[in-house]
């Protein structure tokens, strides 16, 4: 019996282990010099000019602070695809605002810009674009539409670190761009997140928000020191990133190129092995400029859950990204548009295993098991 194939398999190499040991040896475990270096490394990979990257402890915290940074609060609405991570919905609610659920487009599985426009109300403050699986959503159209209505774009690029659109990085489109480095993302800091913002004033406010509201100088903390006198002028959270986590993120950032390259190869291999399988829909991309986070297929005809079972029996784990948000008890009363594409995709979507440095033979085993599962269903 061959080994089970997990959906996610974080790559932790000797470099990452060494980085973590070095950070522990430094003795300054909280926010410090590694955080500065991680922010600078992200800024450089994203082509961000000036110091406009702020690292925090999770992607969800980054989303919460994105809301506060844009002045979003009680009484406001934020339009989000219902087909999104729970963190986005909770972040909107944490800010005291209300999510409004929008449909997605069939091709990118990102927000349907025309349907989003139809949902804009006098209370709308922002609209969230999210790049499903690492495939950019229609960022130009979204940005143009939002500007016309004077609402902000929060770009949740948690799936898309390293993806590009029209030659530009993912940080080039939103008023605020958000990333996550949780355990399964394309790079991990075990847990972590980051925001890219537009102004130095936003950066300063975020430095206070992430550290209990204290007006500690980040510049000083970046040298592994702190002040004992400070003021607190506003609310704040314990959202800072720790040196240990930043050191791990930094070590992973160095490997990002290889992660992306080998994930792309695996996606292309899946695409060619599965192209002829009847009843499957594959991502509509050749993965040029895509940094793939997950590889998904769509299983039509109400057969997805049988396919999941058959794959499980063949030792292949799968995932579901996601159950659409409007199905959750907590969010049942949220305003929404027509969600027919979301509902259908939510029944069809299936995440196959995708790892950095995934061997071709593993991709082949998954593809073989999937074709077999579908053929078996046909015969039944």
Residues 6+ apart with CB under 8 A from 127: 78, 79, 80, 102, 111, 116, 120, 142, 145, 146, 151, 152, 153, 154
- For residue 186, which phi and psi values (nearest 5 degrees)? -60, -40
Q: Do the beta carbons of residue 62 and residue 130 sit within 8 Å? A: no
Quick one: which segment of 27-35, 56-64, 196-204, 268-276 binds ligand PLP (CB under 6 A)?
56-64
Q: In terms of CB distance, is 85 or 169 closer to ligand PLP?
A: 85
List 19, 102, 127, 130, residue binding ligand PLP (CB under 6 A): 130
Cβ atoms of 352 and 270 within 8 Å: the answer is: yes
Residue 274 touching ligand PLP (CB under 6 A): no
CB 298, CB 345: distance < 8 Å: yes
Q: According to the binding rule CB under 6 A, does residue 351 interact with ligand PLP? A: no
Q: Does 87 bind ligand PLP (CB under 6 A)?
A: yes
Does residue 134 bind ligand PLP (CB under 6 A)?
no
Segment lying near ligand PLP (by CB under 6 A), choices 14-22, 81-89, 94-102, 352-360: 81-89
Cα separation of 369 and 262, whole Å? Answer: 21
Considering the rule CB under 6 A, would residue 58 count as an interface residue with ligand PLP? yes
Minimum separation from the CB atom of position 56 to ligand PLP (A)? 9
Of 39, 76, 77, 88, the one binding ligand PLP by CB under 6 A = 88
Candidate list 153, 156, 188, 209; residue touching ligand PLP; CB under 6 A? 156
Site stretch for ligand PLP (CB under 6 A), options 155-163, 219-227, 272-280, 370-378: 155-163
Stretch that binds ligand PLP, among 58-66, 217-225, 251-259, 346-354 (CB under 6 A): 58-66
Q: Does 348 bind ligand PLP (CB under 6 A)?
A: no
Counting residues that bind ligand PLP (by CB under 6 A) gives 13
DSSP 60-117: HHHHHHHHHHTT--TT-EEEEESSS-HHHHHHHHHTT-EEEEE-B-TTTSSB-HHHHH
The only residue of 59, 110, 249, 324 in contact with ligand PLP, by rule CB under 6 A: 59
Residue holding tokens 């100088």? 217
Please list the alpha-helical segments (H only) found in 166-237: 200-209, 218-221
Name the residue nearer to ligand PLP (CB basis): 33 or 85. 85
Nearer of residues 224 and 356 to ligand PLP, judged by Cβ? 356
- In this chain, which stretch among 22-30, 35-43, 80-88, 199-207 interacts with ligand PLP, using CB under 6 A? 80-88
Residue 59 or 283 having the CB closest to ligand PLP: 59
Give the Cα separation of 141 and 291 in Å (integer): 21
Helices (H), 186-327: 200-209, 218-221, 243-253, 256-274, 304-313
Is 157 or 280 the residue whose CB approaches ligand PLP more closely? Answer: 157
Give dist(CA 362, CA 169) in Å, integer.
30
Interface of this chain with ligand PLP, residues 179 to 208, rule: CB under 6 A? 180, 182, 193
Phi, psi dihedrals of residue 213, rounded to the nearest 5°: 85, 0
The two structure tokens encoding residue 165: 């659109």
- The CA distance from 162 to 135, in Å, is 11
At closest approach, how far in Å is the CB of 59 from ligand PLP? 2
How many other CB atoms are there within 10 angstroms of residue 361's CB atom?
8
Stretch that binds ligand PLP, among 18-26, 151-159, 233-241, 337-345 (CB under 6 A): 151-159
Q: How far is the CB of 182 from ligand PLP (least distance, A)?
A: 4
Laid out side by side, the sheet with 124-130 consists of 53-56, 193-196, 176-180, 152-156, 124-130, 77-81, 98-102
Residue nearest to ligand PLP (CB): 59
| 158 touches ligand PLP by CB under 6 A | yes
Q: Is the peptide bond before 322 cis (omega within 30 degrees of 0)?
A: yes
Choosing from 115, 125, 159, 326, the residue that interacts with ligand PLP (CB under 6 A) is 159
Nearer to ligand PLP, 126 or 307 (CB): 126
Output the six-digit token pair for 367.
């593809």
- How far is the C-alpha of 117 from the C-alpha of 139, rounded, in Å? 14
* Interface with ligand PLP (CB under 6 A): 58-60, 85, 87-88, 130, 156, 158-159, 180, 182, 193
């Amino acid at each position: 019996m061959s080994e089970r194939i997990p959906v996610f398999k974080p790559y932790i190499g000797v470099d990452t282990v060494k980085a973590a040991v070095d950070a522990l040896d430094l003795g300054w475990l909280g926010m410090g010099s590694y955080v500065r270096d991680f922010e600078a490394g992200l800024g450089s990979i994203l082509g961000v000019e000036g110091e406009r990257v702020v690292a925090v402890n999770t992607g969800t915290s980054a989303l919460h602070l994105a809301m506060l940074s844009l002045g979003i609060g009680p009484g406001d609405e934020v339009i989000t695809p219902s087909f999104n991570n729970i963190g986005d919905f909770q972040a909107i609610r944490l800010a005291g605002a209300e999510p409004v659920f929008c449909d997605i487009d069939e091709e990118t599985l990102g927000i349907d810009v025309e349907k989003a426009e139809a949902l804009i109300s006098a209370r709308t403050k922002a609209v969230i674009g999210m790049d499903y699986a690492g495939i950019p959503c229609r960022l130009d159209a979204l940005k143009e539409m939002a500007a016309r209505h004077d609402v902000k774009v929060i770009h949740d690029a948690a799936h898309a670190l390293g993806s590009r659109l029209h030659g530009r990085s993912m940080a080039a489109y939103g008023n605020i761009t958000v990333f996550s480095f949780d355990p399964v993302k394309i790079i991990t800091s075990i847990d972590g997140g980051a925001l890219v913002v537009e102004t130095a004033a936003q950066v300063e406010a975020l430095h206070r928000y992430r550290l209990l509201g204290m007006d500690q100088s980040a510049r000083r903390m970046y040298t592994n020191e702190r002040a004992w006198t400070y003021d607190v002028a506003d609310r704040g959270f314990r959202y800072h990133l720790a040196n240990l986590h930043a050191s791990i993120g930094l070590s992973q950032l160095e490997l990002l190129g290889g992660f992306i390259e080998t994930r792309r190869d695996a996606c292309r291999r899946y695409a060619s092995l599965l192209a002829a399988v009847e009843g499957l829909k594959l991502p509509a991309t050749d993965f040029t400029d895509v940094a793939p986070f997950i590889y998904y297929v769509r299983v039509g005809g109400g057969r997805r859950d049988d396919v999941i079972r058959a794959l499980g029996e063949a030792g292949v784990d799968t995932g579901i990204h996601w159950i659409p948000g409007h199905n959750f008890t907590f969010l049942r009363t949220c305003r929404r548009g027509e969600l027919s594409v979301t509902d259908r995709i939510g029944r069809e979507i299936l995440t196959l295993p995708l790892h950095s440095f995934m061997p071709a033979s593993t991709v082949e085993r998954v593809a073989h098991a999937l074709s077999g599962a579908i053929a078996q269903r046909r015969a039944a």
